């Protein structure tokens, strides 16, 4: 997934991610998210993770900001720093990318 950061927002974004609320991390794990990394360069964030569950839509819905006060607060801290791509559809925030290649 990819998203932009607003100009000058990276230091704050990185600082926040040094102390992600434990509840946010734990519930992500419970809903099948593994090996997650967020990378940055030149105003772009790229988010990579692997999903090990069996109902991706349901698990992602369970991680929506509205599902807990802690997640809502985390959203209120991080989302103002972000700027979705112009090509995002309605309701899309992080933009899904297409897999062009995979090898191991």
Q: Which residues bind a second copy (CB under 8 A)?
A: 2, 10, 13-14, 17, 20, 25, 28-29, 34-42, 44-46, 48, 85, 87, 95-104
Pick between residue 14 and residue 73 the one whose CB is nearest to a second copy: 14
Q: What minimum distance in Å lies between the beta carbon of 33 and a second copy?
A: 8
Q: What minimum distance in Å lies between the beta carbon of 43 and a second copy?
A: 10
Angle 28-63-49 (CA atoms, 0-180°, nearest 5)?
45
Pick between residue 1 and residue 62 the one whose CB is nearest to a second copy: 1
Q: What minimum distance in Å lies between the beta carbon of 74 and a second copy?
A: 12
- Going by C-alpha positions, the residue among 25, 8, 15, 2 that lies closest to residue 81 is 8
């Amino acid at each position: 997934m990819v998203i932009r950061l607003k100009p000058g927002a990276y230091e704050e974004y990185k600082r926040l991610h040094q102390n992600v609320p434990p509840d946010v991390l734990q519930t992500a794990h419970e809903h099948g998210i593994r090996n997650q990394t967020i990378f940055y360069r030149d105003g772009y964030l790229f988010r990579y993770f692997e999903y090990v569950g069996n109902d991706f839509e349901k698990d992602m819905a369970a991680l929506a900001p509205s599902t807990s006060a802690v997640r809502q607060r985390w959203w209120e801290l991080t989302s103002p720093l972000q700027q979705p791509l112009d090509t995002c559809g309605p309701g899309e925030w992080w933009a899904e990318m297409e897999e062009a290649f995979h090898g191991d």
